[in-house]
Amino acid sequence: MSIGWALVGVLVIAGLGALGAVATGSRGRALVAGVSTAGVGVFGVLAGVSALGGEAFSKTIPQLLPLSEVTVTVDALSGLFCALIGGVAVIAGLYNIGYSDGHGSRTGQSLLPLFVAAMILVPAAGNVTTFLVLWEVMALVSLMLVLAEHRLRPSVRDAGVWYAAMTHAGLVAILLGLVLFASKAGGESFTALRDADLSTTTRSVIFVLVFVGFGSKAGMVPLHVWLPRAHPEAPSPVSALMSAAMVKLGLYGVLRVGLDLLGGGPRWWWLLVLVAGGVSALFGVLQASVAVDLKRLLGYSTTENMGLILLGVGAGGMFAADGNRTLGSLLIAAGLLHALNHAGFKTLLFLGAGSVLRATGLRDLDRLGGLVSRMPATTALFGVGALAAAALPPGNGFVSEWLLLQGLIHGLPGADAVVAVAMPLAVGVVALTAGLGVATFVKAFGTGFLARPRSEEAAGAKESPRTMRFAMLVAAAVCAGLAISPASLGPALTRVLEALPTVRDGSPLEGGVTLRLTGIAGSISPVLILAGLFVAGLLVVVLVRRGLPRRESLVWGCGGTRLDPRMEYTATSFAEPLTRVFDDVLRPEHDVDVTHHAESQYLIESVRYRQRVDDRVEAALYPPVLAAGNKLGAVLSRLQNGSVHRYLALGLGGLIVVLVVVGLTA
Amino acid sequence: MSTLGVVVQVVLLIVVAPYLVGVMRQVRARLEGRAGAGAGQPWRDLRKLFRKEPMSPAGSSWVFVAAPAVLVASTLVIAAVSPFVATVSPLDGVADLFAVVALLLLGTVALALAGLDTGTAFGGMGASREMTVAALAEPTILLAGFALSARVGSTNLSAIVERGQQSPGAVLSPATLLAAVALAVVVVAEAGRLPVDNPSTHLELTMIHEAMVLEYAGRDLALVEFASALRLTVLLGLWANLFLPWGVATTASAPALLLGVVAFVAKVAVLGAVLAAGEVFMAKLRLFRVPELLAGSFLFGVLAVSSSFFLA
Amino acid sequence: MTGTPALLLTLAPIVAPIAAAAAAYLMGWRRPVAIATVAAAAIVLIAGAWSATWTADGGEVAAGNWLRIDALSGVMLIVIGAVGVVATWAGIGYLDDELATGHTDVEGARRYGVLVPLFLAAMVVAVLANNLGLLWAAVEGTTIVTAFLVGHRRSRRSVEASWKYVIICSVGIALAYLGTVLVNYAAEHAGVEGSLDWTQLVAHASELDPGVMRLAFALLVVGFGTKAGLVPLHSWLPDAHSQAPAPVSALMSGVLLPVAVYALARYRVIAVAGIDPGFVRGLLLAVGLASLLLAAGLLLAQRDYKRLLAYSSIEHMALAVVGLAIGTPLAIAATLLHIVGHGLGKAVLFCSAGEILAREGTTRIDAVRGLFARTPVLAGLFGAGLVALLGLPPFSLFVSEIGLIRAMVGAGAWWVAAVVLLLLLVVFVAISGKAAGILLGDPPSRDPGVSAPAAGSSGVVGTVATVAGLRASTVVPLVGALVAVAVLGIVDWPLGQLLHAAGQIVGTR
Amino acid sequence: MTQLLYLICGGLLLSSVMVLWRRELSAIVRLLVVQGVLLGALALVLAGRLDSVELVVVAIGVVALKAVLVPRILRRVLRDGNEARETEPLVNVTASIVAAAFLILLAYAASRPLVRLSPSAETQAVPVGLAMVLLGFFVLVTRRRALSQIVGFLLLDNGIAATAFLITGGVPGIVELAVSLDVLLVVLVLQVLTARLRTTFGGTDIDELRELHD
């Protein structure tokens, strides 16, 4: 199918879906919204796949958008992101059918297909205004979706405000950057921008502005503050769409503007990207490792993964700037592959968390547990996602992190001091991130799903409806496919890299069973590792199977009686060693409330212990800004104190100033 | 013929692993003035355990049951793909240094999940501590790997070993030495040996590894014990071959393989003995001093990488 | 186009509202009169749209030396007509409620019925006037007409607001008159025939004495700036807008302020030709940015939602003036589009804020909670209006803001763009935070004894259709306005060419 | 003739300054009458100098409006209330006079371009008009009574009218008419509002109006 028709399909289905969801009653609404969302996703995938197959598309519609025009261009880079978003949308749409069945709000459901359509169209934008409009439509619709459950929890409102503010701040940076670009280039179509001949200073200003903007969308520290608030508060299919798909558009922006439109740049740009990515990865995973809210944990994990992706892109950009296209293309391919992988497993994980939320009403890991027997399918599927997110073989996250490391460690020969310092640190960051990521997902899976339930809600959990399980199964299958055969994406990635002039260099990875890299002696075979694990495991089971049957026993309670679920290790206690080790960074707050007996202060009635780990970056950076704003408001309020004399005095003063200025500038 | 190398290697490791533990215990016993149970005792223990019935704590799930198998399987895969005896292997391209590290971590994760699945405080405590240590050890491992592979231009284990054989001088380069120290610390941490963990303790508050497996019994416990021995062997073997690559077969001929087997057994035995001897003179660190140790090893890793660049 | 048809086309939008006013005076506030008022506003709109046939490609509709429609006037006519239709239509329900709840009496309603169309007529005269003296007189006329509309309720606060309004605006507009006198002086000295005819002045703009024109322009900026709600004489605006009846606030904010900006646009054309363009730009920028800063700061500190809307008007007019300061054709076109979008959006907001006030009985932001949960349609209108005014797509203010920023950067004033964007961000944060408080969340449990005045209760004018507790006569125009703003933000054709032509008239490279 | 012109201008300026000085509201209204008459005289003198019949008509109109009609309205305001004196102004008289001096100097400085464009006897006197504008504004800023504020506005307006006469012999007739009508209407509006102030606030101290603020 041609890309143009696929995009028309996206728009038409989204429009029909939205109208349909508005028109249907509460019973069929989730079905209409879910099916149309999935339909939009299918068309997105079709458009993306066509583009990745080498088709290109470009169209200008001058009748739309006053003061400008609509331009749509789709190349392989756009295609990758269209396909990614479309894929996530298909799964989230299917999931929505069961998830929102009977209680999806009219607004929330009808906006779902529109959100997906906006996201799919963002990478298809071909000029500055079109891009900005679509970008902001996407932001607005996602904001409204985040707010969908505003009546249920007061925290939704705060999350919405934070999200709105941060996304608008990001827009401001992007807007300024792109408009500056367009103005200097003398045209606002991407073609004109690409052909522009600008000074390095201008280009750098543009890049930094744009990076700040896209970075905030991608959840880069310190602009990430909205992400761990908004992603958890949104309904779960929306969380999945935001975390798996929307943040990727930040990556798209960096690639499109940095490597395509600006055509690469000096090395420090990419060093900036690398550092921002590294800091985000580390900070994100640290916060995730101590988070006890499952969806918040997943949100911080998104910051972490986007950090890793941008770290790869940054390193790739650095090498490309040095002329080392082999590593440049490898690292960017690694970043893109990780983006795909992250989309896969984060969709799965957020949907899994949604199922848990739906079944128990809980996001608090400290109160979950025991779901493995109550929601076996969900547990198993979440486990697949957690394995991938922990970047362990045979999960798909492992492959892209492996590629990333390969790219990072091979740059040393022939490098200068900057690279020689940056790369080891980057490897250290990736490694620590990987390690903490493992701990994080062991915690999420181990305390959230295993053992015995820690609350009545968790004990009463029921398995999710079939559509939800099916959607998660699809996501898991996608993860598995990506894990088993990453090399099959080689041609597509090659085509994407061809859209980036300074990086373009043949195909970065190839091979069938074994994943090989071009220009680097390194290989792994995810299939064979999986097969090996399977065979070895089977052997062990078969060999050991003989003998006495398994028996159930009481757990050892140090000689005490049967253990209470309250005595189980919780997520908080699991993360305690990490909290202590990273005390200086996390600065946890402890509250101990001791209630004494009425009769004697030496007898204790109860002890309450609470630990809170706030986002320290947020606490350090944002309150001063808000305080400055309030100060400004307070100062200016004094001008408006109600006295008409003061108002008139202001006028007279203004008049005098104007007269003086007119006199002086004569 | 090279396939034979793989089989030999896997069988060798399976056989040797419990003996290695036995040797180490024996060395330790002797140094402490005890007679010791002999190097074969671990095998005898395993045989006994394999015959006993496995038990699952109430409320635990398939994760608890599957974990030992995953642990053994992941270690076996490492045993198959790494160049312990020979560098020529049909499985050479399957897993490189990073993949091996990740597979080790996979085993750790399986056991940690099992620990959490028991629902006891001990299991959770062990899992939590084990994951903390593993997470903090990760940067050191990868940086040491970086230092080693930077010299060779590949993370492929065979390539690193072969390069070591071809240019013995490089083994004594600052980068390699620093990486060796760094990795040694990590091997100790990963294998759960002193001063990070005490494999023979059963005092709840000091346990890491043992706390996780507290609920295992019978053949489950046998698998866990076996896997832990195998992991120790694999770790020592890897360390030995990365830094002392001599003797590893580079062709698939029978004599070369034989030499490889002998060299491997010797190296691992010596290293095990040294490790055991060292443990006699060492006390376990407080858990919250372990990160300091790992930070130190991380520093060595960084120095290793930068010296491979700045001093090369 | 000239001659009799032109005369008809230019007189129709003036005469129609006056006729409606006369009808109201004679018949009192009745349904036919109300409809006639809406029809009069519609005639203004139609006249504006119709005139575009001649003006969109740079032509004009001239009726003698006094009245004239070019593309710029055409856009303004459309704004006046469109906002007028929305405000007068939604005003029907508003006045019914006022009468039903006893906030006003038959005499008050009659006065309202007379003054509102006169207000429209005065603004139409202002934008059609070719003579700058007439323009001034018409703008001053709006003050007089609206003085009693602001004080419609006769409460302490509305009297206070109208006093401040009349005094400050009269002073400001007097300064504008002084400026006009000086322009006249310069023109006579340069031998311009019909010394206050805009067309003549533009033709001879470069011959005017720069010294006098600088002083004149400065006075005009301060003077008309007062009416546009700009620093330093902006202070009347939040008081008047928060006290006036909702439809009047809508008209004042949506049209009256832009008419003052329009006057500045006319003078800008003359000023830039004669005097140092840097002076013109600097002065307008200073006024615009200072107003923007003021609006941003006070929005942060705001505790009253009607005043919030008023400061938002200051913000948007400041933006429009910054657009004038930049003054390229793109900037002017964007400014005008912005004015159109703002007018309609603000009409929606003020009218829905009026409904909120009628239901909640308070204008305090922290006293209104969980509106979406209680009255989704009203909250939806208010929310959508805010979204439009915050400059989010698909509403046209987003496109016009991008256009403005493009124009700023294109004119080399990238620092202005940066400052403007930063201040707009502050505005965004301020408004969205407060709006979230009003709209979202679960409603507080209310004392069941205190019920809001029954909305949709039958007024004097007869029974009314309701939509979710709101009158159809309120919902339909407001929804229509929102749809119009959205359409303008997506599609180019309704205004594109006209805006372009207007940009050519005022804009300079 | 020029002497007469300057004399009238001097009188105009003096009457404006006197308003700052006097506290009696009725005296202030009287000063306004004087100023209206002087303004008419100015127009008449200019009519003579420029040979303009139109200006004669304008002069009559000015006197009728500013010396008769408007003061009559003001007196009615005065009669309706029982406030004969300005309460303590926000800036005391001494400071006011000093400020007035500064404002007059500023007016001279600011009107230099106007004089420079066509130096003639009339334009030489233009600073007087501008000074009256600023003084009127100053009265508005500092006086508390509603009536004083109206007077301030009228002073400001007289200043503009004087400026207009001095530089161009007045604006085109119809505009002049519109302006006069506007002034009259504003005064009427303010009169009504003053009455409302009195009924709702019980007084006309504008400084009491502080309910609307941020």
pLDDT tens digits, one per residue of A344-382: 999 999 999 999 999 999 999 999 988 999 999 999 999
Q: Which residues of C touch D168 (CB under 8 A)?
A: 181, 184-185, 188, 195
Average pLDDT (C354-378) is 90
Closest chain C residue to the Cα of D117, Cα to Cα: C209
Closest chain B residue to the Cα of A404, Cα to Cα: B98
Looking at CA atoms only, how far is residue C163 from chain D in angstroms? 7
Looking at CA atoms only, how far is residue C177 from chain A in angstroms? 14
Task: Give me the phi and psi of C61, to 5 degrees please.
Answer: -115, 110
State yes or no: cis peptide before C13, omega within 30 of 0. Answer: no
Q: How far apart are CA B173 and CA C446, in angstroms?
A: 79
List the single best residue of D135, D212, D214 to mutate versus C (max C Cβ within 10 A): D212
Cβ-defined contact of A67 to C330 (cutoff 8 Å): yes
Q: Residues C390, C431: contact at Cβ < 8 Å?
A: yes
Q: What is the pLDDT of residue C214?
A: 93
Cβ-defined contact of C294 to A639 (cutoff 8 Å): yes
Q: What is the pLDDT of residue C458?
A: 38
Contacts of A542 (CB under 8 A, 6+ apart): none
Cβ-defined contact of A157 to C440 (cutoff 8 Å): yes
Cα-based angle D22, D24, D26 (whole degrees, multiple of 5):
115
Q: Residues A472, A381: contact at Cβ < 8 Å?
A: yes
* Local structure of residue D32 (DSSP, 8 states): H
Q: How far apart are CA B141 and CA B189, in angstroms?
A: 11
Task: Give me the phi and psi of A218, to 5 degrees please.
Answer: -85, 0
Count the domains in chain B.
1
Cβ-defined contact of D160 to C181 (cutoff 8 Å): yes
Closest chain A residue to the Cα of B148, Cα to Cα: A409
Token pair of C297 as six digits:
């700061």
Q: What is the pLDDT of residue B250?
A: 84
Q: How far apart are CA D159 and CA A44, in angstroms?
A: 71
Q: Residues C115, C149: contact at Cβ < 8 Å?
A: yes
Buried b (16+ CB within 10 A) or exposed e, C251-267: bbbbbbbbbbbbbbbbb
Q: How far apart are CA C268 and CA C281, in angstroms?
A: 9
SS3 A607: strand
pTM across the whole model: 0.94
SS3 A524: strand
List the single best residue of C392, C425, C434 to mutate versus A (max A Cβ within 10 A): C392
* Portion of chain C with pLDDT greater than 90, in percent: 73
Q: What is the pLDDT of residue C445?
A: 67
Q: What is the pLDDT of residue C446?
A: 54
pLDDT exceeds cutoff 60 at C357? yes
Q: What is the pLDDT of residue C451?
A: 42
Buried b (16+ CB within 10 A) or exposed e, A372-381: bbbbebbbbb
Contacts of D184 (CB under 8 A, 6+ apart): D65, D69, D70
Average pLDDT (C418-434) is 95
Looking at CA atoms only, how far is residue B50 from chain A in angstroms? 7
Contacts of C113 (CB under 8 A, 6+ apart): C21, C24, C25, C28, C29, C33, C34, C37
Q: What is the pLDDT of residue D48?
A: 86
Q: How far apart are CA C39 and CA A647, in angstroms?
A: 39
Cβ-defined contact of A529 to B103 (cutoff 8 Å): yes
Residue range A95-140, pLDDT digits in tens: 999 999 888 888 889 999 999 999 999 999 999 999 999 999 999 9
List the single best residue of A282, A433, A510, A524 to mutate versus B (max B Cβ within 10 A): A524
Which residues sit opposite A71 in a β-bridge?
Answer: A60
Cβ-defined contact of A648 to D109 (cutoff 8 Å): no
Domain ranges of chain A: 1-201+222-251, 264-537+564-574, 616-664
In which region does residue C441 sit, left (phi positive, over 0), alpha (psi from -120 to 50) or beta (all else)? left
Q: How far apart are CA A163 and CA A228, in angstroms?
A: 10
Q: Which residues of A touch B60 (CB under 8 A)?
A: 450-451
Q: Residues A286, A585: contact at Cβ < 8 Å?
A: yes
Looking at CA atoms only, how far is residue A653 from chain D in angstroms? 10
Q: Which residue is it, tokens 């809600």?
A: A457
Q: Which residues of D touch C297 (CB under 8 A)?
A: none
Q: How far apart are CA A629 and CA A611, in angstroms?
A: 31
Contacts of C11 (CB under 8 A, 6+ apart): C63, C67
Cβ-defined contact of A438 to B96 (cutoff 8 Å): no
Residue C463's pLDDT band, with cuts at 50, 70 and 90, is: very low
Pairing of strands A515-517, A509-510: antiparallel
Cβ-defined contact of C372 to A68 (cutoff 8 Å): no
Q: Which residues of D touch C174 (CB under 8 A)?
A: 133, 153, 156-157, 160
Mean pLDDT by 10 residues, chain B (312 residues): 82 94 93 90 93 87 92 94 87 86 93 91 89 91 87 86 83 86 90 81 75 88 93 94 88 87 94 92 83 90 84 63
Q: How far apart are CA A325 and CA A317, in angstroms?
A: 9
| Among C171, C238, C307, beta carbon nearest to D153 | C171
Count the domains in chain D.
1
Q: Which residues of D touch A641 (CB under 8 A)?
A: 210, 213-214
Q: Is B76 exposed, middle or buried (0-12, 13-18, 19+ CB in 10 A)?
A: buried
Contacts of D28 (CB under 8 A, 6+ apart): D19, D22, D86, D147, D148, D151
Cβ-defined contact of A644 to C168 (cutoff 8 Å): yes
Residue range D158-188, pLDDT digits in tens: 999 999 988 877 677 777 888 888 889 999 9
Q: What is the pLDDT of residue A10?
A: 96
Q: Which residues of B touch A429 (CB under 8 A)?
A: 139
Closest to C430 in 3D by CA, of C479, C386, C496: C386
Q: Is ipTM > 0.85 here?
A: yes
Q: Which residues of C touch D149 (CB under 8 A)?
A: 167
Mean pLDDT by 10 residues, chain D (214 residues): 88 92 88 93 88 87 91 89 74 89 93 88 90 94 90 93 85 80 91 89 84 85
Through-space distance between the first and last CA atoms of chain A, rounded to whole angstroms: 68
Cβ-defined contact of D137 to A651 (cutoff 8 Å): yes
Token pair of A21 as six digits:
């969801």
Domain ranges of chain C: 3-445+454-506
List the single best residue of A555, A556, A558, A576 to mutate versus B (max B Cβ within 10 A): A555
Cβ-defined contact of A658 to C399 (cutoff 8 Å): no
Q: Which residues of C touch D192 (CB under 8 A)?
A: 148
Q: Is A666 on the interface with D (CB under 8 A)?
A: yes
Q: How far apart are CA C134 and CA C198, in angstroms?
A: 11
Task: Return the HEC string of C110-142.
Answer: HHHHHHHHHHHHHHHHHHHECEHHHHHHHHHHH
| Domain residue limits at D130 | 2-208
List the single best residue of D102, D137, D155, D163 to mutate versus A (max A Cβ within 10 A): D137
Closest to C357 in 3D by CA, of C305, C421, C411, C424: C305
pLDDT exceeds cutoff 60 at C455? no
- All residue ranges of chain A with pLDDT < 70 are 1, 512, 560-562
Q: Which residues of A touch C314 (CB under 8 A)?
A: none
Task: Give me the phi and psi of A265, to 5 degrees please.
Answer: -175, -170
* Local structure of residue D145 (DSSP, 8 states): B
Q: Which residues of A touch B302 (CB under 8 A)?
A: 424-425, 428
CB atoms within 10 A of CB D24: 12
Q: How far apart are CA A637 and CA B149, in angstroms?
A: 65
Q: How far apart are CA C90 and CA A323, in angstroms?
A: 66
Token pair of D113 as six digits:
């371009």
Q: What is the pLDDT of residue C5?
A: 85
Radius of gyration (C-alpha) of chain A in whole angstroms: 27
Residue C112's pLDDT band, with cuts at 50, 70 and 90, is: very high
Q: What is the pLDDT of residue B149?
A: 85
Task: Give me the phi and psi of A610, to 5 degrees please.
Answer: -130, 140
Amino acid at A9: G
Average pLDDT (C121-150) is 93
How many beta-carbon contacts under 8 Å exist across A and B? 285
Q: What is the pLDDT of residue C457?
A: 40
Element (H, E) at C4: helix C3-27
Q: Residues A93, A116: contact at Cβ < 8 Å?
A: yes
Cβ-defined contact of A581 to B54 (cutoff 8 Å): no
Looking at CA atoms only, how far is residue C438 from chain A in angstroms? 10
| Domain residue limits at B14 | 2-310
CB atoms within 10 A of CB A416: 10
